[in-house]
Every structure is written in C-alpha cells, then in structure tokens.
Amino acid sequence: MRDKQNILIIGAGLCGSLLALRLGQRGFNVSVYEKRPDLRKVNINAGRSINLALSNRGIKAMKLVGLDSKVKQLCIPMNGRMIHDEKGNTFLSSYSGRDYEYINSISRADLNALLLTEAEKHENVVIHFNKKCESVNFEKTTALFKDYETNTQFIEDADVIIGTDGAGSALRKSYYLGKKFLFSFSQDYLTHGYKELCILPKGKNDFKIFKNALHIWPRGSFMLIALPNLDGSFTVTLFLSYNEGVYNFNGLNTDEKVLEFFKKEFPDALALMPNLLEDFNNNPTAPLGTVKCSPWHYKGNTLLMGDAAHAIVPFYGQGMNASFEDVVEFDNVLDKNLNNWKAIFETYEKSRKKDTDAIADLAIDNFYEMRDHVANPIFQEKRKLEMTLEKAFPNEYASKYALVTFNENLGYYEAMLKGRAQDKAILNLLSEGEINVNDDLRSILNKITKETQKILEEDNVAKLK
Amino acid sequence: MRDKQNILIIGAGLCGSLLALRLGQRGFNVSVYEKRPDLRKVNINAGRSINLALSNRGIKAMKLVGLDSKVKQLCIPMNGRMIHDEKGNTFLSSYSGRDYEYINSISRADLNALLLTEAEKHENVVIHFNKKCESVNFEKTTALFKDYETNTQFIEDADVIIGTDGAGSALRKSYYLGKKFLFSFSQDYLTHGYKELCILPKGKNDFKIFKNALHIWPRGSFMLIALPNLDGSFTVTLFLSYNEGVYNFNGLNTDEKVLEFFKKEFPDALALMPNLLEDFNNNPTAPLGTVKCSPWHYKGNTLLMGDAAHAIVPFYGQGMNASFEDVVEFDNVLDKNLNNWKAIFETYEKSRKKDTDAIADLAIDNFYEMRDHVANPIFQEKRKLEMTLEKAFPNEYASKYALVTFNENLGYYEAMLKGRAQDKAILNLLSEGEINVNDDLRSILNKITKETQKILEEDNVAKLK
C-alpha cells in the first residue's frame, strides 16, 4: 500500500539520508530538505563528532539497504579500549571475549555522503540543500522552510512529514510550542561538556598510536578519548565538567592553563598534539544532553525519528546505531501492511520507545560508571571475569556491553534489564565472596545465571521496572 | 544578614503566601504579585483542587509560622481510605496502625486566605493582586507584569525574585526560553486526566457519607475519590484515561454516555450526585503532569520554589506538603547565615532537589500501584501485614506510606529508598512463602528488617540509585 505517497523528510543527516534511501527503495516519493549545504561539495566539519562508533545494530541497517560491504571499506575496527594511565602505561581491554565482536570507527561525513549518493540513485528521491525548516504545521501536514540561497521562505506539503532533524528538531519544537496535545518532553544536561581535538597522522595514512582501538585516558571526573580516522589521524574528545573540580572548561580560559592541564594530566597525549592550542581555541565546547519525548507522532501526519525523537549522550557509542535501528524498526512496521499512517506511527512508537528510552538510560549509566567506578577494584574484577567467561563460553555468556553492542536482535530494553541484573549479580557475588576468580568457571557461570534470574524475578514480583 | 533586602515573590498561591509570611516574619521587605484577584473577596473556584490533603510535612511548616492551631480548625481528619467496591460494599483501610497518624482534608481557598491574611499583618509584606507576571529578566533581576486592572505593563526590580507561580511558572519559562545557561527540564503527562465533581451536603454541615475518610472507588484503570469539606459536601475527583479503555474522557461526550458510565461503574456514587451532569459538563478535564527542572536558581538573582520547581501528580497527596516543606527547608538554609544569595540558593537546591525528585517518582509509583496492583492479592496481603506490624510495633515499623506521609523529619529521598526496599522485601518474602501471616509477628518483623537491609546493601554495591 501507499507506495505512491509523498513523504517529506526534514534533515539529511545520517538518519534522514538512510530513511530516504530505504523509503526510496520501497517506492515512495521522497523529498528531503536539509539546512546545511551538500557535504559532498563543501567541507562543513564544525569540529563536532567527526567520527563515530558503528556497531552491530547500525550494520544491520546497512545490510537492510544493501550497503554493508561499501560501508565496511570506510570502517576501522576497534577491538577494545586502549587505556592510557597517568604514568603513560597502556594496556588493551577487549570489548568482548569473542574475536568477531568489535566496534568500528567511521567518518560521519563519509558515511553520510555514501547514504546521500545511494539515496539519490533513486529517481523517486530528491534532496534539497540549504533549506532550513522553521516550523511544521502538523495539523495541515505542511512545513515552512527558509531557503538560505534565495533568503526567501516557502511552504511544502506532503502526505506525511518525518522529522529526522536532530537534537534541535524544528518538528519537535512545533509539537512543544503548539500546545495542541499533551506533549511529554525532557531535556537533561550533564554537568560535563565536550570538545574535539585532533592527533594528526605521522605520515600519509600512518598512525601515531595503535590504530585498532578506542584510546582512552580515564582520569576520574574527566577523560580524553581518541578514535582513528582512515587518513591516519585520530579525533580526540575531551569530556570535562563545565565548572566543577580543579580543572574545568570555564577555568581553562588561557593557553597557559590549557597547557598546564594537559601537561599534568595527559602528558603523553600532549606530546602527540602539537596542534592542541589551535584546536582547543577554535573548536566549540558542546553540551551533553539527553532528549526524550512522547508522542513522536501527530495522528498520521507527522513523525519524529532519530535524535529528533531521542538524543542521547555518547558514552555507549550507540547514538548513530540507535537512529539507524529506528529505520530498521520502521521498515519492519511498514512490512505489516497496516491500513494507514496513524496505525503505522502508533505501532512503531509503541514497539520502539521502550528501547530508545533504555539506551538513553544506559548511556547515562555509562557516564557515571566511567567517571566514578572504573577505578573501583570490584568493577575491574568484574570486567576481567566477564572477559574470561565470554572466552570460555562464547555461546552462553554475554556481558551487558555485549548485549547492548553486539546483540542486534535483542532490543535495548531487554538488554538493559538483563545486563543490569547480571552486573548487580556479579558485583554482589564478588563482594560477598560467593564467587572467586580462581573457582571453576562453569560453577561461576551457574552462580551468576542463577543470581541474575533471582534478581529479575524479585524485581518482577515487586513490579519494579 | 540581609534582612533589609527586597524580595519579590511571583504568585500568592499556597507556597507563595507561606513564603511571604515566613520572610516577613524574618524581617525582609517582601512584595508579592499574584495574577488572580484576591480570593478573600472574589470566589475564583475554577473546579480544580478545591480541597487537598494536609499531612505532617505541611503541618510542620504551619508550626514554623505559628499557625498550626488556626489551621487545625480548618482540617477534617481522614483516618483511612473508605473503599467502595463494585457491589456498593464499603470497608475502611487505615492509613496507619498508629491512631495518631492520619491525613487531613482542607480547603485550598480557606488555607490560602489564612496565609494571605497572616502575611499581610506584617507591614513589611505587600501583596498585589491582578498582576500577571509575563516574563523575568533573570540577569537583571527584574520582572515584567501585566496589570489586569489597568491593562498596562510595568517592570519591577528587586534584590532577589522568587517564582512560586505554579506548574505553569513564568520564571521557569524565562529560564527555558532564555537559553542563557544549560537548563534541564521535563514535563511528563500521564495518559489519564482528572475532573472534579461534588457530593452536596445532606443538610447544613451534614455529610451524606462517612466524614472522616478519603473515599475511593477503585476500578482498575480508573477511579473516583472524594474528600470531605467543612460544609458537609465532598469534592469528588474522577481519574480516567483520555482515550484508552472502554470508557475514557474523549468518549464521554454526551450526557447519556456519562450517565451510562456512572450507572455501570459507580451506581452508589451516582445516587449521591444528582448534580453529576451539571458538574461534569461545567468543570474542566485537566491533565496530570510532572515537572522537574534544574537549576532552580540563576546565580543569586532568582529562584524557583513549590510547583514552579517541581509539580507532581496527586497520587501521594503530597503536592502541597512538598511545597510547604520547601519553605521549611529554605528557612533552615537562611539560618545558616551564608554570605550571599547565590550560596543560599545553591545550598538550598543541593539539599532539596533529591527530595522533590523522590516525591515526584513516588507519586507516579502510586498511580501505577493504585491502577494496576491494588487488586493483586499479594499487595493486599502486604498492606494487611503492615497495618498489623504498625499496631504491634508502633515504634519500630513504618510502611512506605507512613515514612512518606507521617515522618516529617525523614527526607522524601530517604523515605523512598527505605520504603521501596521494604516493599520489595515484603512482597518477595510473601511470594516465596518465607513469611506467613500466621507466623510470630516478631519473627516476621526481623525477617523483613534483614531482607530490607540486604536489598539496600546489594543496590549500594551495584551503585544503583
């Protein structure tokens, strides 16, 4: 049904361009309006999220549109975290006990360009650049745009409008300001912000530090991470409080203070970044926010997808993956051949929202876990034990990280419930001395499985979510 | 310090008028601006929250300002819930096993009038009515008002501005729209709304049903409640989904449907309300929302208090009590003699926010508990057991409800942690047959205490909040 319907997509970022491609493949008439220029023609790198972590859920979406092998060429596998301690020592902590489970560093721009090009191969897909959505009349299913080229405004209508216009979504803002229905909405900022920096290549396509890892310099209340790029560079991100602690973004207001901070806390990273001050001064400090809202759709007229519906903090490396998974889930609902868009949107939101809420909460958990608990001996012991279990029982045991990152056929919500219960079980069994890393592994696994099950059952009896 | 400072309060509702009274008692120069007319001169009952439940935390605030005995005269004690089942049977379920623990029905208008009158007795307190706050310039500490009498606008400045202007706060809106700092904010609506109705007196000051109870007609996904008024009437509230289930507010769009609904579900209540249709048609259907935000203050200039900072749903009967407790907590911080308003506001928010977040979550818990679990045999068994324990060990056992409602010296956050763990312990001990209502009570109490402690410790090891 509905393959001749006109669909207007706001935003040609990662989610919008994938959605346009998929709906184009399904035969819909798709018009996409993007506020920025075509990133294939203009370098619009704004010093934010230059590369991203692509993992199983995102790859599943690439398979859906037949792009998995093309995308693979853009990927740099990262098999684990390379931890850089205060003394400059490094050690690799695998993401999984299974060799075939890893995450990938990928350039946002390269991936976005590929999706745009593939979408435009369909004659029923048209992408317009430099057209900023100002607001959406969700009752009339029309959107107001400003054309940055002619500096004029125009209105477009469509059978449905889908907003994939990111965390600052104009469609979501129209829902909020419209006050035509009860719109639940939250924006939650962490006390920390982030700033992107860069480790330049040693030579052409030559990496200054180990290529196949996500590098991390954990320092308690702040940290530095680095992800590799194909050209041999690393995109580095500093996560730091705006105004708390000895060092914070508000306080790092002179070159001297920035250098002092890096010399003291990240001397090895500083040695790799002669360009530090230039990057630090030129790149913005950006906030870390979570956005949730409901409903995502207005009747059968409009729908929010991707970051527009659920922006999350980056600490689980799942932002892009969650948005891509949205498209997979939406595609599944389209396969049901429901009668109308209202039924499609309702069915999609009902099945999807619990999962995007869960990954938002998991990402926040990880912020605190990385900040407060990584140095805790019992958390470290747990992580080591889990790697051993994954190696010994590859088909029986998966850590919370693996459930979330590598188990694309398990929803985020189920992964969260099981993963949290399992973490709690292990931490308590270790803490109470009921398991010991020298015990027989099978008996450890049995105890963990039993305790996890007990925790889930007890929560269920008490009706805790 | 600072007793000659000028404080501008936006909103002379329950929280604003109590705050004005207390700050007046402390010697500050207080100006209050209220958008509505003076409720002592005009009947402005809008069919919403005519009466409220006053309990220990609110009474503590009344004691602080020396009004507890005057307020007591406005109170009707409610010792428990009078439950009305589908067949018209009634039974009383006490709020506590201790006779001296009960909640009170009180008229919002009477209480507000008393607070206004007491505040105005201080010559350093001035209250202005019919002045609506349009916005606040929190950087300049000025507020823009519209005078409903002259239809003109004017600007007031002050040393500090405190917004006690309720769930729709103009100050909070200025924070949100100002985008001058990272403002975390959420508004969350339940799928249910509410509508107020009325059971008129039998004769003068004569009650048609039992006076000293909160009456409740639980019906699974919806319910009716009734609280007594001094004149012999009861204010009745229907809680019902907007659009889900066989009966819902959107569907009750003719007199016939309303009558059919009440005849089928609440025949005994219908018999008490010959005026049902008039009330149903005249009174608004209002949403049930939770508002949280942070920060409450901007530097030392402005501060949100009461519903403006934390609006909650009514299912714990704590909305007014929480707002009154805000004033007690703020007063405690003033006693610390900090150096400046910024330090005062920061200290207040830091100690207070965890508690108002907790009561917001507890109130939502109770919505689901009342809706989904009241009919669950194990929840009923738990409630019965807890009453027995409170009677047998009045100084040792307090249910979650008692911790929240009757333990005014325990913060909401601590009450939530302990109360939730205790609920989980009892439900699981009952479900696993590890305690039995016929066991020795002391041994039951010991098992519950031990299991509760274990749950708290295990959550702590896993760093769960």
Tokens 């995308």 correspond to A71
Dihedral, CA atoms, B442, B444, B450, B451, nearest 10 degrees?
A: -170
Is there a contact between A428 and B373 if contact means CB atoms under 8 Å apart?
A: no
Tokens 């300049």 correspond to B140
User: How far is it, in rounded angstroms, from Cα A150 to Cα A156?
Assistant: 16
A contact test, residue of B182, B313, B374, B431 with most A CBs within 10 A: B182
Q: Which of 229-258 (B) contact A at CB < 8 A?
A: 242
In sequence order, what are the beta bridge partners of A298?
A302
Q: Does B189 touch chain A (CB under 8 A)?
A: yes
pLDDT tens across the length of chain B (465 residues): 455 799 999 999 999 999 999 999 999 999 999 999 999 998 766 555 689 999 999 999 999 999 999 999 999 999 999 999 999 999 998 999 999 999 999 999 999 999 999 999 999 999 999 999 999 999 999 999 999 999 999 999 999 999 999 999 999 999 999 999 999 999 999 999 999 999 999 988 899 999 999 999 999 899 999 999 999 999 999 999 999 999 999 999 999 999 999 999 999 999 999 999 999 999 999 999 999 999 999 999 999 999 999 999 999 999 999 999 999 999 999 999 999 999 999 999 999 999 999 999 999 999 988 777 766 788 889 999 999 999 999 999 999 999 999 999 999 999 999 999 999 999 999 999 999 888 999 999 999 999 999 999 999 988 764
Phi, psi of B84, deg, nearest 5: -110, 110
Q: What is the pLDDT of residue B53?
A: 97
The answer to whether residues B189 and A184 touch, using CB atoms and an 8 Å cutoff, is yes
List the domains of chain A with CATH numbers. 6-75+107-187+289-367 (3.50.50.60), 188-287 (no CATH), 376-461 (no CATH)
Q: How many other C-beta atoms are found inside a 10 Å radius of the C-beta of residue A85?
A: 12
Which helix (H) or strand (E) is B292 found in, with range?
Answer: strand B286-294
Distances A21 to A29, A67, A123, A125, A328 between C-alpha atoms, Å:
11, 11, 11, 8, 12
Is there a contact between A185 and B182 if contact means CB atoms under 8 Å apart?
A: no
Q: How many other C-beta atoms are found inside a 10 Å radius of the C-beta of residue A336?
A: 11
- If 0-12 CB within 10 Å is exposed, 13-18 middle and 19+ buried, where does residue A234 land? buried
User: How far is it, in rounded angstroms, from Cα B373 to Cα A464?
Assistant: 12
Is there a contact between B461 and A186 if contact means CB atoms under 8 Å apart?
A: no
Distances B144 to A424, B140, B153, B304 between C-alpha atoms, Å:
52, 11, 7, 16
Entry field: residues in chain B: 465
B contact test, residue of A172, A417, A451, A463 with most B CBs within 10 A: A463
Q: Between A185, A428, A462, which is nearest B187 by CB?
A: A185
Structural tokens at position A187: 């924006």
Entry field: residues in chain A: 465
Is there a contact between A182 and B188 if contact means CB atoms under 8 Å apart?
A: no
pLDDT of A411 above 80: yes
Dihedral, CA atoms, B350, B351, B356, B361, nearest 10 degrees?
A: 90
Which residues, including other chains, have CB under 8 Å from residue A173's CB and lie 6 or more apart?
A135
Q: What is the 3-state secondary structure (H, E, C) of chain A?
A: CCCCCEEEEECCCHHHHHHHHHHHHCCCEEEEECCCCCCCCCCCCCCCCCEEEECHHHHHHHHHCCCHHHHHCCCEEECEEEEECCCCCEEEEECCCCCCCCEEEEEHHHHHHHHHHHHHCCCCEEEECCEEEEEEECCCCEEEEEECCCCEEEEEECCEEEECCCCCCHHHHHHHHHCCCCCEEEEEEEEEEEEEEEECCCECCECCCCCCCEEEEECCCCEEEEEECCCCCEEEEEEEECCCCCCCCCCCCCHHHHHHHHHHHCHHHHHHCCCHHHHHHHCCCEEEEEEEEECCEECCCEEECHHHCCCCCHHHCCHHHHHHHHHHHHHHHHCCCCCCHHHHHHHHHHHHHHHHHHHHHHHHHHHHHHHHHCCCHHHHHHHHHHHHHHHHCCCCCCCHHHHHHHCCCCCHHHHHHHHHHHHHHHHHHHHCCCCCCCCCHHHHHHHHHHHHHHHHHHHHHCCCC
The answer to whether residues A53 and A103 touch, using CB atoms and an 8 Å cutoff, is yes
Which helix (H) or strand (E) is B184 found in, with range?
Answer: strand B184-199
Is there a contact between A187 and B185 if contact means CB atoms under 8 Å apart?
A: yes
pLDDT of A48 above 70: no
Residue A23, Cα to own-chain centre: how many angstroms? Answer: 22
Q: Between B183, B428, B461, which is nearest A462 by CB?
A: B428
pLDDT of A73 above 80: yes
pLDDT of A179 above 70: yes
B contact test, residue of A448, A461, A464, A465 with most B CBs within 10 A: A461
Burial B213-226 (b: 16+ CB within 10 A, else e): bbbbbbbebbbbbb
Q: What angle do CA B279, B283, B289 make, to 5 degrees?
A: 135
Count of A-B CB contacts under 8 Å: 68
Tokens 């990954």 correspond to A359
Chain B residues within 8 A of A368 when measuring between CB atoms: 463
Q: How many other C-beta atoms are found inside a 10 Å radius of the C-beta of residue B139?
A: 12
Q: What is the pLDDT of residue B4?
A: 77
User: How far is it, in rounded angstroms, from Cα A21 to Cα A2?
Assistant: 17
Q: What is the pLDDT of residues B44-74, one digit of tens each?
A: 665 556 899 999 999 999 999 999 999 999 9
pLDDT of A463 above 80: no
ipTM of the complex: 0.90
Chain A residues within 8 A of B287 when measuring between CB atoms: 182
User: How far is it, in rounded angstroms, from Cα A442 to Cα A392?
Assistant: 9
Chain A residues within 8 A of B463 when measuring between CB atoms: 368-369, 372-373
Longest dimension (CA), chain A: 72
Nearest to A54 by CA among A453, A436, A333, A324: A324
Is there a contact between A461 and B428 if contact means CB atoms under 8 Å apart?
A: yes
Q: Which of 165-184 (A) contact B at CB < 8 A?
A: 182-184
Mean pLDDT of A314-320: 97
Q: Which of 408-427 (B) contact A at CB < 8 A?
A: 420, 423-424, 427
Q: How many other C-beta atoms are found inside a 10 Å radius of the C-beta of residue A315?
A: 22
Q: What is the pLDDT of residue B465?
A: 47
Tokens 């738990």 correspond to B382
Is there a contact between A424 and B184 if contact means CB atoms under 8 Å apart?
A: no
Q: Between A287, A420, A458, which is nearest B182 by CB?
A: A287
Is there a contact between B182 and A431 if contact means CB atoms under 8 Å apart?
A: no
Q: What is the pLDDT of residue A204?
A: 82
User: Is the torsion defined by CA of A92, A95, A97, A99 positive or negative?
Assistant: negative
Strand pairing of A125-128 and A302-304? unpaired
Which residues, including other chains, have CB under 8 Å from residue A347's CB and lie 6 or more apart?
A333, A336, A338
Is there a contact between A424 and B464 if contact means CB atoms under 8 Å apart?
A: yes
- If 0-12 CB within 10 Å is exposed, 13-18 middle and 19+ buried, where does residue A179 land? exposed
Residue in chain A nearest B188 by alpha carbon: A184
Strand pairing of A184-199 and A160-163? unpaired
Nearest to B401 by CA among B320, B327, B318: B318
Q: Does A377 touch chain B (CB under 8 A)?
A: no
- Considering chain A, what is the average pLDDT of its residues? 95
The answer to whether residues A198 and A236 touch, using CB atoms and an 8 Å cutoff, is yes
